Structure 1
Amino acid sequence: MKEVYVTFPCGELSLEGVCHLPEGSGPFAAVVVCHPHPLYGGSMDNNVVLAVCQALCEKGIAAFRFNTRGVGQSEGFFGEGIAEQKDVKAAISFVASMEQIEPKGIGIAGYSFGAIPSFFATPAEEVQAVAAISPPLSMAPLEGLKNYSKPKLIISGSRDNFTPVQDLQRFGESLPEPNQYEVIPGADHFWWGYEDQVGERVASFFANALKG
């Protein structure tokens, strides 16, 4: 696996990111991975974000993690999950333009708060599959997924202390097919000690959805 540090534009801002490239020459399918709440320490170096990126590369899929505005070396200020929608779109456009990436094989994974800017609106046409990891439905209902007809994964831990499992299950069942909902027994919202499991489940989903 090769890691490449990059900066990319989002309007007048410059954002930072890291692209994880699998072994081989590509072009690779790729997943943009969005981090949890920045006001509570969330960044592209989060444990779940890193686990998902590593698992994706092990399945031959590139992964792109980045810091939204105001986080790390990314310019700007926190945008309440609204302005960050622009950051996600900019990250998708940047990844799709990379020569190592297959632009018709792009997915998005949003962990916790990261699911809000990713799925507040219906994902862009070029996005072929999405995964919401422990999405905080009390903060935003993720209405964008209700009009998204491509593969979707909702995954949470059985001990998630932000959104009850039954609420996530109802949300998952309300989405149009194809979609799947998975619960990892014993894991809570932060996935400590369960990183390998969530990484493997998410990566397997994208391997099926993006690579066939």
Structure 2
Amino acid sequence: MRTKKKTQLIEGPAGLIEVEVVPAKKQLSQDGSQNLAIISHPHPLYGGTMDNKVVTTLFKAYQELGFNVVRYNFRGVGASEGEHDYAQGELNDLLAVVDWAQQPFPESALHLAGFSFGSYIAFKAAAQLKPKSLLTVAPPVGLYSFEPEVTGQLDKDTQWSLLQGGQDEVVESAQVLNWARALAEKPDIYWREKASHFFHGELIWLRRAVLLAYS
């Protein structure tokens, strides 16, 4: 029997933000530390929400890892107030969610994750927040500027994992790969050649890749 998800509304820079929080069943991970993962969803103007199946897969994978997990809707999506603000406002939404989520989990290491547009927002936030880890799924390289003067510089101590499908119909896979390889601080790359942008039929692989990234 499926349980109905429980969301709540928190204060954000453009009004209320809808969030869903699942505390870890065990407050300690395998190495004895606590962890908090916050996941950002795809582009709001193209149907992206925190209920997206890729986001849901990440959400469940982090729970399986024993993390406290938060997903949320950007402004103007679901019950979140406000209007789409072309990445800057959405970055502020994520920063507000992080600030709010860290209050009940003050001892938890911060981990950021995102899919598509959400990975761009997570990447920008990571440059500011210096989380313990960053996980980007199908980052929209070529659609948004990932130049350091725009996104900021990712901290060398942040563990960064990039998950990408080789048959991405939204983002040019080769461009993502070339961009990642050219960086001074390179991510660990998990590549699924037959996967599309939305990982149709490949969600099991996606879940396993997330678990592997933190093994």
Same fold (TM over 0.5): yes
Determine if the alignment matches structure 1 residue 181 to structure 2 residue 189: yes
Match of 1:20 among 22, 25, 43: 22
Instruction: Compute the RMSD of aligned alpha carbons.
Output: 2.3
Counterpart position of 1:5: 7
- The code of the aligned residue for 1:155 comes to L
Unpaired runs of 5+ residues, structure 1, are none
Q: Is the 8 A contact 2:10 2:18 kept in 1?
A: yes
Whole-Å Cα distance in 2 between the matches of residues 171 and 112 of structure 1?
A: 15
Structure (1 or 2) with the greater strand fraction: 1
Shift of 1:33: 0.6
Runs of 4+ in structure 1 deviating by more than 4 angstroms, as ranges, are: 1-4
Q: Which amino acid aligns with 1:138?
A: G
Which of 119-128 and 196-205 deviates more? 119-128
1:102 aligns with: 107
Instruction: Please name the residue that 1:153 is paired with.
Output: 161
Amino acid across the alignment from 1:23: K
* Alpha-carbon displacement from aligned partner over 1:87-133 (angstroms, at most 9, x marks no partner): 0101111121124x634x11111101112222236533352211110
Structure ranking higher on relative contact order (CA contacts 8 Å, 6+ apart): 1
Worse-superposed segment, 46-55 or 146-155: 146-155
Conservation of the 8 A alpha-carbon contact between 2:130 and 2:155 = no
Which residue number in structure 1 is paired with residue 88 of structure 2? 82
Secondary structure, counterpart of 1:83 in structure 2: helix
Q: For 1:39, which of 45, 49, 59 is the aligned residue?
A: 45
Give deviations 1:145-179, integer Å, cap 9, x for gaps: 64431211111111012222221111111233362
Percent of pairs with identical residues: 24
The answer on whether the counterparts of 1:151 and 1:177 sit within 8 Å (CA) in structure 2 is no
Provide the C-alpha distance between the structure 1 equivalents of 2:140 and 2:73, rounded to a whole number of angstroms: 19
Stretches of structure 2 lacking an aligned partner (at least 5 in a row): none
SS at match of 2:189: strand
Q: TM-score, normalised by structure 2?
A: 0.85
Shift of 1:39: 1.2
Aligned pairs for 1:61-72 within 5 A: 61-72=67-78
Matched with 1:201 is 209
- What is the one-letter code of the residue matched to 2:38? V
- Secondary structure at 1:6 match in 2: strand
Alignment partners' CA distance in 2, 1:83 and 1:134: 21
Q: How many residues in Structure 1 have an aligned counterpart in Structure 2?
A: 205
Is 2:19–2:70's contact at 8 Å kept on the other side of the alignment? yes
